[in-house]
Chain A
Amino acid sequence: NAGVMQNPRHLVRRRGQEARLRCSPMKGHSHVYWYRQLPEEGLKFMVYLQKENIIDESGMPKERFSAEFPKEGPSILRIQQVVRGDSAAYFCASSQGQTGYTFGSGTRLTVV
């Protein structure tokens, strides 16, 4: 019973490129959450999705960032035209209802 799978674990992008982060939730979980964490900081909520629906995107920047959770396949967090300030660890979590979240190992994005 695999947990939350995120890939890639590490991603290096040059300024201006696009970054695509993938997340497959735990089997049976229909709620997916994306968080961003800067070094020495807490987790900042970005977006909450259920299958084919964005439920809450209040924490996601309006420009350059988008997220989806299609009917088939993983959830994708997409960052267009990356800048140095996007460098961070991006964690995906899944849950079923109001139970505890299961987090993936994260994607460490470095923008050079």
Chain B
Amino acid sequence: GQQVMQIPQYQHVQEGEDFTTYCNSSTTLSNIQWYKQRPGGHPVFLIQLVKSGEVKKQKRLTFQFGEAKKNSSLHITATQTTDVGTYFCPRSSGNTPLVFGKGTRLSVIA
């Protein structure tokens, strides 16, 4: 089945630095979703990308879906302490439930 790898597993940045997390799949994805979970909180849906080469922005967050629909990235510009949390790009396949990996845990040092 599809395997989606997410890197890095951990990232520590100084406040104000940029941050990027990557998801790579061994097979073509029909779509990709991104979620954020704050420490002690619950996962929150951020966005879904469907089209090849798609780029979407949410304030300081930029989401990209690769041309081959096998990879995706989330880039945060000028991180803030409110960006702290774990970012997930779960594996999705048709109507089957999302499969979450360990995500990328972001720490922001003020």
Contact = CB atoms under 8 A, between A and B. Distances in A.
Nearest to A101: B45
Interface in B45-87: 45, 47-48
Contacts, number: 46
Interface in A35-76: 35, 41-45, 48, 56
**Chain B interface residue count: which class?**
20 to 34
A45 B48 contact: no
Interface in A18-47: 33, 35, 41-45
Contacts of A35: 100
B25 interface: no
A42 B103 contact: yes
Interface residues of A, number: 20
B42 A105 contact: yes
Nearest to A89: B42
A42 B98 CA distance: 12
A103 B96 contact: no
Contacts of A42: 88, 100-103
Contacts of A105: 41-42
Contacts of B33: 100-101
Nearest to A108: B40
B102 A41 contact: yes
9 contacts: A35-B100, A42-B102, A45-B98, A56-B96, A93-B43, A100-B48, A101-B33, A103-B43, A105-B41
